[in-house]
Structure 1
Amino acid sequence: MRRLLLTFPLIALCAWAPPAGASSRQVTTFEAPRELLSGSTRATTLDQISQFGVKRVRQLVYWRDIAPEPDSKTKPAGFDASNPDSYPANKWDNLDGLVAAARERKIDVTLTLTGPVPRWATKGKRDNYTDPLPAEFGAFATAIGRRYGDAVNLWSVWNEPNQPQFLRPQFKSGKAYSPKLYRKLYQAAERGLRSTPANAKDTLLIAETSPRGNSNIVAPLAFLRGMLCLDSKYRKSKSCGKLEPGGYAHHAYTTSAGPRWVPQNADDVTIGVLPRLVTALDKAARAGALPKHLPIHLTEFGIQTEPDKISGVSLERQAAYLAVSEHIAYVNPRVAAFSQYLMSDDPPRSSGYRYGGFESGLKSADGKEKPAFNGFRLPLAVEAYGNQDVLWGLVRPQRAVSKVTIERRITGYKTWRVLKTIDTTASGVYALKTPRKKGQHYRVKWTSPSGTTYTGPSVRSY
C-alpha cells in the first residue's frame, strides 16, 4: 500500500499527458570521461551519444590534472593561474579535443570545475583536497573561462563537495564545515568565470551534491542550508548575501532497492524523494538566499549492475530502474536535466574488491552492450498500480511526433504480441495503462525516419 501511495501522485500528474513545460525543456546529459578524454575512443563515443538523441555531455575538470607541479608545496615561480597560456600546453590536449569534437557535432558541453587541486593551492599544503584557497581556485576558473568561453555555455562548481574524497574537511568540532568552505569556492569561481566577457551571461550551477550523508559525509540538504547560511528552520543569517546561480545541481543516485526507495534521513535526496529538494530550494528562496523557482539539474545519475554484488542489480533491472527514474525526473517540472553516468563500466580492480568502481555503464567493462544500451534510446517505465500496469516511454532520438508499438509477452512464452501502436506527443513521449497480469513483460519498437527499426529491452514492473 505504501508503494502504491507513493506511485499514485505520479500517475495523477502525468500518466496521460506531460506537465506543461516539463518535456520541451528537460535535456539529457551524458558523461563518459574515460572514452571522451581519449583520442582513440572520443569520436565513436560522441557519435553513439549523438545517435541516442543526446545533445549535451558533462566533463569534470580536475585542477590538479592541469596545473604545473601539482604535488609541490610551493607554487611555481612566475606562474599565473588565471592565464591559460601559463599552464603546460600538453595538459590541455584531452579537454581541447573533447570540446572541439563535441562542437563539431553540435553537442553542448558542461564543464564542472573541481578538486583535487594543486597542493600549493591549499591552506596547509598537506594534500590536494584540504582547505583549497578560494582566490587560487578563482584564478583557475578565470583561466578555464578564457580558454573555453566561446565553446561552453553551462558551468558547474565542484563535484560532490559534500564528499571527503573531493573536499576536506567535511566536519570540524562535530559541525559541518564543507558547506561554508564551498560557498567561498563557488563565489570565487563565479567571479573568475564572470570576469571573462564570453561567460558573462552563461548559466552557472551550484552544489553538485551527492545524495546521502553519514558521519563522514554532509547530507545534501544540510549542506544546502550550511552553504546558504540557513538554520534548520530556513532563516538566513544577515551576514550572508543572496547567491544567484542559474541552477542547482544534484546527483540523485538511489540504491539497489530501486528508484522508489525512501531514505530515512530527511536531509538525504535520492531520485525517489526529489520533492524534498524542491521544497528546500523554495524555502531557501523565500528566505532570500536563492532565486525563486531555481531549476534542478540532475547532472549525474546511473544504476549500478552486477557483477558488483554490493551495489549492483541485474542487467534487466538496470534498464527498468533507469526508465522509472527518468519518468520521476520528467514529471517534475523543476527538473531541467537528467543524466546518464558512464558509457561503459569502470575496469575491474587488480586487487581487493574488484568491483569497487562504478558499474553503471550502458556497456560492461569489456564493451558488451547491456539491455540498458537499447533501453537508453527507448526508455520504457512500467509500474504497477492496483490491478493495472502503467507505462510511460520516450523516443529519445526523435523529440517529435512519431509512432511506437508496444509489445507484450507472458513469462514462459517466447512470442511477443502487439499490445498497441500509438502516437507520441510532440516531445516524443507516450503513456498508457493496461490490465495487470502475472508475469507480463513489455517492450517497445520504433522505426526512425531513416527506416531503421529499434527494439527496446524486455521490462516489467518490480
Structure 2
Amino acid sequence: MPSLRPVLLVCAALVAALLGLAAPAAHARPDQAMTFEAPRDLLDPERREAALAELDALGVTSLRVILRWRDVAPNGDSSTRPAFDATDPNAYGWGQYDALLAAAQARGWSVILTISSPVPKWATSAKRDSVTRPSPAEFRRFTTAVGRRYGDQISTWSMWNEPNLPQFLRPQISRGKPVGPTLYRELYLAGRAGLLDAGQTGDRILFGETAPKGSTNRLAPLDFIRRALCLDAKYRKRASCARLETEGVAHHAYTTRQGPSFVPANKDDVTIKVVSRLSSALDKAARAGAITPDLPLYLTEFGIQSVPDTLFGVSLLQQNEFRAISERIAADNPRVVAFSQYLLRDDDATGENSYGGFETGLRFANGKAKPALAGFRLPLAARKRTDGRVSLWGLVRPARGVTTVDLEVSTGDGFRLLRRLTTDQRGTFRLTSAGGGNRRWRLRWSAPDGTVYTSPAVRAYAG
C-alpha cells in the first residue's frame, strides 16, 4: 500500500496556507541560546541577587562574563612581577567572580567565560600599560589557574575581548604593518594550551570575539581573522602555519543608528545584517585548511543604543524594534548558536550629553524600565514581504516549552485579537498576515502564575 505521508504533508501545507501560517524556517536552529551580560549588576554584591531574579523572570538561562586578568592577579598595577606560582588558583584574588559563577551554577545556567585584558603590567613586554604585547607564556599560566578554579563550572571559554581594538590589545599596527592578529593568535594558542593543561579537554574554546568594524587604527574583523589564521586576502594559507584548533568563532555584530538593516561598505566589516559574511569567510578558511569546517558562530555581545545618548542612540521605540529584528536575523541563521543582550542597565553618564559607555540596557542607568524590557520578554518582529503581506516572528522567552500567546493587531483604533498561537518548544512562532495601512502588532501572554505580560507595539520593517 502506498505511503500516505506525502498526501498528509500536502494537506498540512494547504491548511497552513489557508490559515496564513508560515512554516517554521527549515534552517533555523532550535537550540540557539540567548546569553546575557550585565557586569554592573551581576558583579555588584548588593545588586546581584535582584538582577539574577529579574533575568530569571525574563527567561534568561545563560550568561557571558568577562574575566579581567589584571583585576584578579597579584600586584596587577605593578611593573614588577611578584614571586608566585602563576598556575596556582589560590595565588589570585577572584573577588566577585567566585560568587557570580557559583550563583549561575546554582541556577543551572550556562556561562561563556571570556578571559581578557587588561593584563598585569608585569605580564607585558615593556611593563608600561595593561594591553601592549601581553606575554603568551604568562597568559598560559594564568589560563591554567582559571581552568583549575572554574573548570567544573564552565564548559565554554573565549579568548580575549575584541582583540582587533587597540583599547584591548596593542599594537594593532606597527610601522605600517598589522601586528595585532599575530599577537592575538599567540595569545589564543597560549590560552588554549593553559586550559588544556588544567584538564579542560572536552570544553569549547572560542576564537575571535571581534568587534564589528575597522578604522584607521584597527583592522576590520574579517581582515583581522584572516591574518590571525595565516591567510592572505584571497584566503591562501601560509604553508608554515598549522591549522588552528577551535570549537567556534565569537563575534560582536553591533550595528549603527541605522539599525539592523545597515550594510557596511567595507566588505570586511560584519554587522548583524551581514553575519553571512563571517560564515562565508570561515568556509573559505576551512577550505584552505586553516580551521575545521562548519564552525558555529557565537554572537557574544550585542545591543541597541537608545536615548539619552544623542550621538549613537535611537528612540526607545526603535531600540525595542531593532533589537527584536536583530534577534530574528540571528535566529534564522543556521550557524549562529548563541545571540546576546549586553546590559541590563545603561552605563552611568559622566556629564551632560556625555555618554562614553553603552546605553544598550533594558533599563536606564537609574533603573527605570525602557520599553525594551517588556520587549525582551516577548520579542516580536514584523517584516514586509514583496506581496504586500507581513511575516511575523515572535518569541515567548520565559516559556520553558510550548505555550500559547495572543497576537494582537491595531490599525489605529485600538488593539484587537488577531490570533491565538501555539509556539514551538523554544517558545517561538511564525505567522504571515495582512500588511499595509498603519498596522501595528503586539503580544499578550499569561504566565503560569497568572501574570499577564504585554509587549510594546511594533511596526513592519522592510526586510
- Which residue number in structure 1 is paired with residue 153 of structure 2? 151
* Residue 244 (structure 1) shift: 1.4
* Residue 354 (structure 1) shift: 1.8
- Which residue number in structure 1 is paired with residue 424 of structure 2? 425
2:379–2:394 contact (8 Å) kept in structure 1? yes
Amino acid at match of 1:86: A
1:388 and 2:364 matched:
no
1:83 and 2:82 matched:
no
* Residue 21 (structure 1) shift: 6.6
Q: Distance in 2 between matches of 1:298 and 1:243?
A: 20
1:62–1:116 contact (8 Å) kept in structure 2? yes
2:310–2:353 contact (8 Å) kept in structure 1? no
2:33–2:339 contact (8 Å) kept in structure 1? yes
- Which residue number in structure 1 is paired with residue 4 of structure 2? none
Q: Distance in 2 between matches of 1:382 and 1:21?
A: 19
1:23 alignment partner, one of 19, 29, 54: 29
1:436 and 2:438 matched:
no
- Which residue number in structure 1 is paired with residue 6 of structure 2? none
Amino acid at match of 2:81: K
- Which residue number in structure 2 is paired with residue 8 of structure 1? none
Amino acid at match of 2:299: L
Q: Distance in 1 between matches of 2:25 and 2:232?
A: 33
Q: Distance in 2 between matches of 1:439 and 1:143?
A: 58
- Which residue number in structure 2 is paired with residue 372 of structure 1? 372
Q: Distance in 2 between matches of 1:43 and 1:152?
A: 20
Q: Distance in 2 between matches of 1:35 and 1:291?
A: 37
1:154–1:203 contact (8 Å) kept in structure 2? yes
**CA distances 1:200-224 after superposition (whole Å, capped 9, x unpaired):** 2111111000000011111000011
- Which residue number in structure 2 is paired with residue 171 of structure 1? 173
2:330–2:336 contact (8 Å) kept in structure 1? yes
1:111–1:155 contact (8 Å) kept in structure 2? yes
* Residue 176 (structure 1) shift: 1.6
* Residue 24 (structure 1) shift: 2.3
**CA distances 1:311-365 after superposition (whole Å, capped 9, x unpaired):** 1000111111111001000010000000000000001114x75212100000000
* Residue 122 (structure 1) shift: 0.5
* Residue 249 (structure 1) shift: 0.2
Q: Distance in 1 between matches of 2:153 and 2:447?
A: 30
- Which residue number in structure 1 is paired with residue 186 of structure 2? 184
What is the TM-score with the length of structure 2 in the denominator? Answer: 0.93
Q: Distance in 2 between matches of 1:262 and 1:384?
A: 18
* Residue 454 (structure 1) shift: 1.3
Report the secondary structure of 2:209's partner residue. strand
**CA distances 1:380-423 after superposition (whole Å, capped 9, x unpaired):** 01122232222111111124222111112234x3x211111121
Q: Distance in 2 between matches of 1:226 and 1:58?
A: 26
Identity across aligned pairs (percent)?
51
- Which residue number in structure 2 is paired with residue 238 of structure 1? 239
**CA distances 1:290-310 after superposition (whole Å, capped 9, x unpaired):** 111000000000000001111
What is the TM-score with the length of structure 1 in the denominator? Answer: 0.93
Any residues of structure 2 matched to 1:117-156 within 5 Å, and which?
A: 117-156=119-158
**CA distances 1:413-459 after superposition (whole Å, capped 9, x unpaired):** 3x211111121123211111222233221100112233222111111
**CA distances 1:20-77 after superposition (whole Å, capped 9, x unpaired):** 473322000000001000111111111111222221101111111111222221101x
What is the RMSD computed on CA atoms of the aligned residues?
1.4
Report the secondary structure of 1:419's partner residue. strand
* Residue 105 (structure 1) shift: 1.1
Q: Distance in 1 between matches of 2:110 and 2:173?
A: 36
5+ residue gaps, structure 1, are 1-14
2:115–2:159 contact (8 Å) kept in structure 1? yes
235-244 or 266-275: bigger deviation: 235-244
**Aligned residue-pair number:** 440
Report the secondary structure of 2:268's partner residue. coil
Q: Distance in 2 between matches of 1:336 and 1:296?
A: 6
Q: Distance in 2 between matches of 1:192 and 1:308?
A: 41
**CA distances 1:170-206 after superposition (whole Å, capped 9, x unpaired):** 1122222111100000000000001112x22111111
1:18–1:331 contact (8 Å) kept in structure 2? no
101-110 or 157-166: bigger deviation: 101-110
**CA distances 1:108-165 after superposition (whole Å, capped 9, x unpaired):** 1211000110111001112111100100011110111110011111100000000011
